[in-house]
Structure 1
Amino acid sequence: MTGPTVSRSTEPEPAAGWAPTPALGRAVLLAGLLLVAGVLLGRVDLIVLAAPFALGTAYALRRRPTALPQVWITSGDDGPLVEGGDVAAAVSVGNPDTVDYDLVVLRTRVSPWLRILRAGFARDLAVGDVPPTGGEAPAAGTGRSVADRPFVTSVPVGSAVDLELAGSALRWGRHPVGPAGARVATAGGLLVSRAVIVEPVRVRVYPRTEPFEAVEAMPRAAGLVGAHHSRRPGEGGELAGVRVFAPGDRLRRIDWRVSLRARQLHVAATLSDRDAEVVVLLDVLAEAGRSGGVGGAASVLDTTVRATAAIAEHYLHRGDRVSLLEYGPAARRLRPAAGRRQYLTVLEWLLDVRVTASSHEPYDQVFGPQLLSSDALVVVLTPLLDERSAQMLARLARAGRFVVAVDTLPADLAPPKDKGWAEVAYRLWRLDREVMIGQLREHGVPVVRWAGAGSLDQVLRDVARLATAPRVGGR
């Protein structure tokens, strides 16, 4: 999160939003019955008995509320919030009226991916249902959240009370805090307001970057900046050898030791440092596995998003240009760029990644004319659950692209528990998928399972070797 986010309720409304409570009805009814009975029966004691009820009700209603309470949600942090990081939010109730709010009942909803460990008003934080220090809170989707309960307080005139929520973020995405609602009782509990509801605030949780390091050179560099060593001679820091001095060589490149030994001028030849374009293609046609949040099981989408963030961070740190593409009906794309700003843009772009099923072939929609550079490395993150994904990889390879396929299917994907032919069908599907991967490798598409650090090193080594060989086929 780059700054605090606030969602407010509407402006204060007139007293039409207030209604009498059953307590007011009972007080008026009791006082009326006692007065009528005292007059009809001539009983002064009944009239005296009704007086406290009538006077108490009149005194409580002497100052009636004129505006509804204000409710707003605030969520903010000093820096970006990453999976597993601490999240803080507050639901506030303000009193713009001229009378005190005797009782305020406040309730809010929180995304199950935000594990709220402490909830309470500023003066009594950690009210009830708080696990002991160091204790484990219920996992997402199980148990009752600490925030899933009503909170009661009072609000004096012209002030506000904050319900503070503190916990941790379990999963990447845009998670709602809210909607929140409040109802207020005043005039000694004789008047109650209607519920004031405020829209939720979305908390941005960026994916946790998995460790990734690729030490292999890129297949073919394109620009004139960056940290990858080209196979072309030029100005750079990587020594390519020593050769005889030629017209145009700089004097500072002269290797005097070799020159004196050979009695002829020699210069140190270097390789130019060039940047590369990395295109990360996210296959969003199918999903598998169940997400357990940070530290738990990872679904296909979890692995895809976290691996994308890691790959983008690695290559952007090296000065390369990175672009993102979605292989799906939406065909979202992020233009290639380099630098810290591009990395933050990548993280923001990944928050909206969703799996969308579709029956049509999105190849022509995703790969428009002149969208991919011929020298770009295309890293495809795919679970290979859809035949169209394998066909897309084969078409890219036939078009002469440098393609690396990263298998994002969970290794511990459990077979179906249904009896009958379900287990046999699962085993046949596994065999068919292995045959598909073998055919892709025969087409020249390296397929590697994502395993964090060093996942792509061996594959990039093979692709770099292929890049130096003669190539056949159009682009």
Structure 2
Amino acid sequence: MTGPSVPEPRSTELESTAGWAPTPALGRAVLLAGLLLVAGVLLGRVDLVVLAAPFALGTAYALRRRPTTLPQVWITAGDDAPLVEGGDVSAAVSVGNPDTVDYDLVVVRSRVSPWLRISRAGFAGADDAAAPDAPTADASPAAGTPAGTGRSVADRPFVTSVPAAAAVDLELAGRALRWGRHPVGPAGARVAAAGGLLVSRAVLTDAVGVRVYPRTEPFEAVEAMPRAAGLVGAHHSRRPGEGGELAGVRIFAPGDRLRRVDWRVSLRARQLHVAATLSDRDAEVVVLLDVLAEAGRSGGVDGSTSVLDTTVRATAAIAEHYLHRGDRVSLLEYGPGARRLRAAAGRRQYLTILEWLLDVRADASQHEPYDQVFGPQQLSSDALVVVLTPLLDERSAQMLARLARGGRFVVAVDTLPANLTPPKDRGWAEVAYRLWRLDRETMIGQLREHGVPVVRWAGAGSLDQVLRDVARLATAPRVGSR
């Protein structure tokens, strides 16, 4: 099946012909024809000359039109629609023939990320998308593949032919298993022409990245916010202003709107009174991602989850919830890199957050993390700080304690997998793992004593009770010293 138009071949003859070499079949044909001709002449046998004639004529006929340009290979990764975990992924490896000679045989092979489970692969218009003996997605897991996945059907060469001035597409279709930037490629192709007597060198093309966004887990939270600091929004603040929350009744003052007049109270008191309300304001939510350590093995969207899986998916869910309510959300990384995404609101910010999350990586550096994220320019005093951390490093607990001592409204979300097994391959015994668990529970208890609520992420409703407690503490009167 012909594909899109092929770019023009190179004009330099030296560059175009340098990539072709004779195959062993050409050597055998020339050797056999030469031996038969020499033997026929020396022995005076005409039958040997007649026997050599088909080999010589066939070789000359096949080489009458030699290819002059190399094939062209490029990769197209699906469409422009956003791809989410568990969604269908498609890509195509195209081989173009810019020459005036047909390619008799084209062998195409491409690498594909193991997180892209390719279940169907074949050339466009072919009846068989995959060979019967090709490994399927339910085969035994191979080395280097994610847990719960088998070998991809793309892990084998594909063979076709390409007419002159045309192109064919090797279509790949499957399912995206995990968030991140996953490569399709590099891909390569080798071509045989002139009846299989000439073969080209391998033509390679660079990989193309496929962006897979994290699947947003269902998440809902109460409307309670420690402090609403913006101008407009959906949260009730403690400041008087235009809003829907009744704050009381007071005497009419210049500037009050007539629609706020409480006529019942005014008639009873014989003086104009108005209903006072609390202003509706937006809140700033800072999601702090602890990337100092990774634990657990990721099994994709339908398998087990690692620390990074829970962190990224929970961040996307929290950001989507608060952005949908009109709040401002910012992201910070607690690690050597200390990446930061400024606070903003709206759908554009949500798409920016999804793009930002694709580059989240665990960095187990021994250097002290960058602590400038705790400055007043980075963290507003009125912001709600949601820290996603596995609490595998003592520096993470110290960071939470510093935030609480600095007067921040902090909620710690435990992202450690509940079904985490001891890493026996690293020499951990069951008793040592249990002692480590007890030590970690003690650290969590100490954080709660310092006023840092720690809750395990469980999807919808995970933070309801914690947010109520934080909002209650924020509205409580504070005792100050004279």
Residues 363, 470 of structure 1: CA spacing in aligned structure 2 closer, same or farther, 3 A cutoff? farther
Residues 143, 419 of structure 1: CA spacing in aligned structure 2 closer, same or farther, 3 A cutoff? closer
Q: 1:222 aligns with which of 209, 215, 229?
A: 229
SS in 1 for 2:125: helix
Cα separation, 1, equivalents of 2:100 and 2:190: 17
Q: Does 1:387 align with 2:394?
A: yes
SS in 1 for 2:40: helix
Cα separation, 1, equivalents of 2:385 and 2:426: 41
Q: What runs of 5+ residues in structure 1 fail to find an aligned partner?
A: 1-5
Match of 2:131 in 1: 128
Match of 1:115 in 2: 117
Residues 20, 367 of structure 1: CA spacing in aligned structure 2 closer, same or farther, 3 A cutoff? same
Residues 296, 307 of structure 2: 8 Å contact kept: yes
Cα separation, 1, equivalents of 2:438 and 2:248: 49
Q: 1:302 aligns with which of 299, 302, 309?
A: 309
Cα separation, 1, equivalents of 2:479 and 2:366: 33
Q: Shift of residue 252 of structure 1?
A: 1.2
Q: Shift of residue 419 of structure 1?
A: 11
SS in 2 for 1:240: strand
Deviations 1:130-171 (A, max 9, x none): 9999x9677753432111111000000000000000111000
Match of 2:285 in 1: 278
Q: Shift of residue 392 of structure 1?
A: 0.3
Match of 1:43 in 2: 45
Match of 1:190 in 2: 197
Match of 2:343 in 1: 336
Q: Shift of residue 254 of structure 1?
A: 1.3
Deviations 1:361-380 (A, max 9, x none): 21424334522111111110
Residues 307, 130 of structure 1: CA spacing in aligned structure 2 closer, same or farther, 3 A cutoff? farther
Q: Shift of residue 473 of structure 1?
A: 9.5
Cα separation, 1, equivalents of 2:197 and 2:345: 64
Residues 9, 72 of structure 1: 8 Å contact kept: no
Aligned partner letter, 2:217: E
Match of 1:65 in 2: 67
Residues 399, 473 of structure 1: 8 Å contact kept: no
Cα separation, 2, equivalents of 1:130 and 1:122: 20
Match of 1:408 in 2: 415
Residues 222, 468 of structure 2: 8 Å contact kept: no
Match of 2:178 in 1: 171
Among all aligned residue pairs of Structure 1 and Structure 2, give the percentage whose two residues are the same amino acid: 88
Aligned partner letter, 1:174: R
Residues 130, 153 of structure 2: 8 Å contact kept: no
Cα separation, 1, equivalents of 2:120 and 2:341: 38
Residues 135, 152 of structure 2: 8 Å contact kept: no
Q: Shift of residue 198 of structure 1?
A: 0.7
SS in 2 for 1:123: coil
Match of 1:180 in 2: 187
Q: May I ask how many residue pairs the two structures share in their alignment?
A: 467
- Larger mean CA deviation between 183-192 and 40-49 belongs to 40-49
Q: 2:262 aligns with which of 251, 255, 260?
A: 255
Q: Shift of residue 236 of structure 1?
A: 1.4
RMSD: 2.5
Deviations 1:390-423 (A, max 9, x none): 0000001001111110000011111344799711
Residues 289, 389 of structure 2: 8 Å contact kept: yes
Q: Shift of residue 237 of structure 1?
A: 2.4
Match of 1:324 in 2: 331
Cα separation, 2, equivalents of 1:453 and 1:470: 31
Cα separation, 2, equivalents of 1:398 and 1:231: 23
Deviations 1:56-83 (A, max 9, x none): 1011001111110000000132421000
SS in 2 for 1:324: strand
Match of 1:232 in 2: 239
Aligned partner letter, 1:84: G
Q: Does 1:437 align with 2:440?
A: no
Residues 217, 344 of structure 1: CA spacing in aligned structure 2 closer, same or farther, 3 A cutoff? same
Q: What runs of 5+ residues in structure 2 fail to find an aligned partner?
A: none
Residues 9, 197 of structure 1: 8 Å contact kept: no
